[in-house]
A and B are shown apart, each in its own frame.
Chain A
């Protein structure tokens, strides 16, 4: 070591000038630019999320608006000379109104201003008078007229729409679906005071109340002509239902010809069951208003399943048939509505939804919806003493006639009556169900179907799928990360970590495809094997580790430090193979040869091929990389000086792991789990393809579910833009958004508080 002392040079090789102004400005400009770009980026993200949120809310919000109504026109009665109105109607486009008069005239008039369009004379038999009118089928426009000679005539008002010169023209017609000759209903020629009818495919059933105080049911067979499709009726039978009856307030037969209801002004309701062969049996008789109150009107809600009865105390009750435990059908009071204390004079059901409107004696119009249990509107009307009300087919207008012979046309804006907090989140008693339930069923083939918009099964399904996925993913990912970060040799870690991380790039549609088309049938066929893998693998690994620790040192040293995990690969494969291979044997010897049958019979557990177990495994597979990667980084990045401190104190590696590393890494591990949970909640493709998409509420791991995200993916393409269904799907998206938002906020709050604790490292 000669002359180790180095000479320091006396002067620097260059002299640095002080910075020129433009350089200084440039630097400052770049600084400001960068700062503002970063700020802009941050604000854009917040703005984008806020906009998504606002958009979702703006689509969803109209669902919760109440209805409103506005007087569009009022005018004196058109063609007053044609007689008093017996029946009032308005067609779908709100252009043409119809009143059927006591003098047998069908007066079509312009609904907007009351000018006459056309008058039809109905072929009322000579010397006969119209004594009863019944609205038989609103959708078809069929009404029945009963005469004082015991006959009845069916007429149909029909509107033909064409477009001459691209202008809509509506031409009203009166047709006679069962001929122009009145039907003989009462053998005794007595006056028909009240009639009602329902038509099946081959039959027509008429209920009639005559002035002899008899209520009879007449059955006619329909015969359709082969040549011109005209229908002729042939009398089949007439049965007397009630003799010496009180005057009925309402008589109804449901369109399926299964039930007939007769409610009298003495508050009695007679419920008749109609057999296949159209014979009538009294099923029940009870008081509709046992707590007092006088029955004022009785109508079907659309579909003919729900009965609506009103009383003079302002209450409306909804009833439908419910099967009790003995399997007997009994009429059950489902809901109560109230429009105030004034007597309700008219119930007018909507034709296409399960809503209805009422008019009470204080001349208030109220709008309700049965399923949602919603009171949407109460509004005073202009007229006095409303006699007739006709709701348009789309329920967007109501035509009223008052005692002062004036007609009023009210527009009703009531787009989304079906939704309420209760119908979304609480048990709802739907028609034809034995009890209130949470059901999602947004569409069906028939028009008078009751939509079932409960978000509970979907939210439950989302949480169930996420729960089982996390149950499988979290322990595997965290324990794997602990081992990889802390115990594995760097070379092996260099292979393992990128491999697991690349799993994240796997398209979930492929995972879903594999889960639905391969894993689900495989699991079904080898269920005992799959379950025994889940049960046996952890003890097998521990047992192998114990055996390994008992081996002589020379053999153990053969495997380099940190590579012992590789030894588990053959163990895992062997256990997995053995379990699958033994699966049929297990099945024959312990499970009676058919696991699904055994589960069902011995444990009463239903098995669905696409179930939560399959989803849990597939989605767990998708979630593991997120959790693993963040956890591994967090554990690996715990400062060396902390682990050294612990080790130098005499801690074992395991003690250091549990007492120093895991607490220090806990904020990041917690976020990792939350990010995984967020992903599991929002994941769509896997649950869409591997769950069966049955919106059921069942924790059973062997049954499927439908998640919010899969539901949106399945139903949004087929829902009409702007419809209630469409908006509820957006609401589902909002719920999903808020769920992930809540999870992430919670995660961040906890993470921050954990991080404060460990911040000064």
Chain B
């Protein structure tokens, strides 16, 4: 490999920074998954992480809400701050952090409960019991993901009876109802058909007005369609990070170019 091991990539980011990492290295037991990743993710934009399988993009994403903490043998060096707050400092209350940094997974994972209960889950975790408040919040969240009209007549049906695309939007509503600052989407469309994917992408476009969205995807067209910024990762390193338009049309790195032209991956 002809690339230097250490590489500092900085994107031009005139926007307000939201998530900043510096010299982030992550390990699963002895295996290093991230190598000195420093990235600044702007607020109210969609940032996509692309790269081949195993490149560390999901590890990076899951570090933003400390979901990796529960993985046996996971260790992290370096710094991550969200809105200037170091999220790995000992005085951070992790459940509170996670409710501020919502996450959507690859496979829709509704709880085996009603649609309402799924969305109300997070509210109830916070001790909210007032049913009028819960109902208004549920309606708002479902409207935010354009699901309200589809499910308003069967709010008490089991969420598992929804289609895959509806489920995934439900999951986003479930995250949104917590009023997070950041939404982390981990390959949210990979289990969906093209129409559901299209709807989801439209939704993501609209979400960035209120949320900072970080999306991990295998699908470069998707990254091109939905994101404002794109980071290309390879073997645990951040190779290139730029405006999406720039990165796709005029990549600075050969590796990036090979990847986005489909030479490997």
B-binding residues in A (CB < 8 A):
1, 4-5, 489-490, 553, 639, 641-642, 644-652, 655, 659-660, 663-664, 757-761
Contacts and interface: CB of A to CB of B under 8 A. Distances in A.
A645 B109 contact: yes
A489 B178 CA distance: 31
B111 A650 contact: no
A641 B105 contact: yes
Contacts of A760: 112, 158, 160
A648 B102 contact: yes
B1 interface: yes
8 contacts: A1-B2, A490-B72, A641-B107, A642-B111, A644-B105, A648-B102, A650-B95, A659-B121
Contacts of A652: 95
B111 A660 contact: yes
Nearest to A1: B1
Contacts of B264: 4-5
Nearest to A5: B263
B157 interface: no
Contacts, number: 80
B25 to A, nearest CB: 21
Interface in B67-101: 67, 70, 72, 90, 95-100
B263 A645 contact: no
B67 A649 contact: no
Contact of A648 (B98, B126, B263): B98
Contact of B121 (A553, A649, A761): A649
A650 B109 contact: no
B26 to A, nearest CB: 17
B4 to A, nearest CB: 13
Interface string B231-265: 00000000000000000000000010010000110
A414 to B, nearest CB: 61
Interface in B137-171: 158, 160, 171
Interface in B104-144: 105, 107, 109-112, 121-122, 125-126
Q: Which of A641, A649, A652 has the most CB of B within 10 A?
A: A649
Nearest to B110: A645
B65 interface: yes
B103 interface: yes
Given A1-B258, A645-B105, A647-B67, A664 B112 contact: yes
B67 A655 contact: no
Contacts of B72: 489-490
B35 interface: no
A651 B70 CA distance: 13
Contacts of B103: 648
B263 to A, nearest CB: 6
Given A4-B258, A5-B263, A647 B111 contact: no
Nearest to A653: B70
Interface of B: 1-2, 65, 67, 70, 72, 90, 95-100, 102-103, 105, 107, 109-112, 121-122, 125-126, 158, 160, 171, 174-175, 178, 255, 258, 263-264
A672 B125 CA distance: 29
Query: 5 nearest interchain CB pairs?
Result: A650-B99, A760-B160, A641-B109, A648-B103, A650-B98
B178 A649 contact: yes
B236 to A, nearest CB: 15
B1 A650 contact: no
Contacts of B107: 641
Nearest to A553: B90
A162 B160 CA distance: 86
Contacts of A4: 258, 263-264
Given A5-B263, A641-B107, 18 more contacts: A1-B1, A5-B264, A490-B72, A644-B109, A645-B109, A646-B121, A647-B67, A648-B175, A649-B174, A650-B95, A650-B98, A650-B99, A652-B95, A655-B95, A655-B125, A660-B111, A760-B112, A761-B112
A644 B174 CA distance: 13
Given A1-B2, A4-B258, A4-B263, A649 B105 contact: no
Contacts of A651: 95, 98, 121-122, 125
B255 A649 contact: no
B117 to A, nearest CB: 10
Contacts of B263: 4-5
A490 B72 CA distance: 9
Contacts of B97: 650
A645 B108 CA distance: 9
Nearest to A761: B112
A213 B126 CA distance: 99
A760 B98 CA distance: 26
A760 B161 CA distance: 9
Contacts of A646: 111, 121
Q: Which of A5, A651, A664 has the most CB of B within 10 A?
A: A651
Contacts of A644: 67, 105, 109
B255 to A, nearest CB: 7
A491 B222 CA distance: 42
A212 B99 CA distance: 110
A659 B158 CA distance: 16
A464 B112 CA distance: 37
B27 to A, nearest CB: 16
Contact of B98 (A647, A663, A664): A647
Q: Which of B103, B112, B171 has the most CB of A within 10 A?
A: B112
Contacts of B99: 649-650
A659 B121 CA distance: 9
Contacts of A641: 105, 107, 109
Nearest to A562: B72
A341 to B, nearest CB: 67
A642 B105 CA distance: 10
Nearest to A760: B160
A645 B111 contact: yes
Nearest to B102: A648
Contacts of A1: 1-2, 255, 258
A641 B106 CA distance: 10
A639 B111 CA distance: 11
A649 B70 CA distance: 15
Nearest to B184: A648
A647 to B, nearest CB: 6
B107 to A, nearest CB: 6
A9 to B, nearest CB: 18
Q: Which of B96, B97, B111 has the most CB of A within 10 A?
A: B111
A650 B125 contact: yes
Given A5-B263, A649-B175, A650-B125, A757 B112 contact: yes
Contacts of B90: 553
B95 A642 contact: no
A126 B133 CA distance: 116
Contact of B96 (A553, A645, A650, A758): A650
B170 to A, nearest CB: 11
B91 to A, nearest CB: 12
Contacts of A553: 90
A4 B263 CA distance: 7
Nearest to A664: B112
Nearest to B70: A647
B157 to A, nearest CB: 12
Contacts of B102: 648-649
A642 B96 contact: no
Contacts of A660: 111
Contacts of B2: 1
A644 B111 CA distance: 11
Nearest to B117: A659
A553 B90 CA distance: 11
Contacts of B109: 639, 641-642, 644-645
A489 B72 CA distance: 8
Contacts of A664: 112
A490 B71 CA distance: 11
B58 to A, nearest CB: 12
A663 B67 CA distance: 22
Contacts of A649: 98-99, 102, 121-122, 125, 174-175, 178
A8 to B, nearest CB: 13
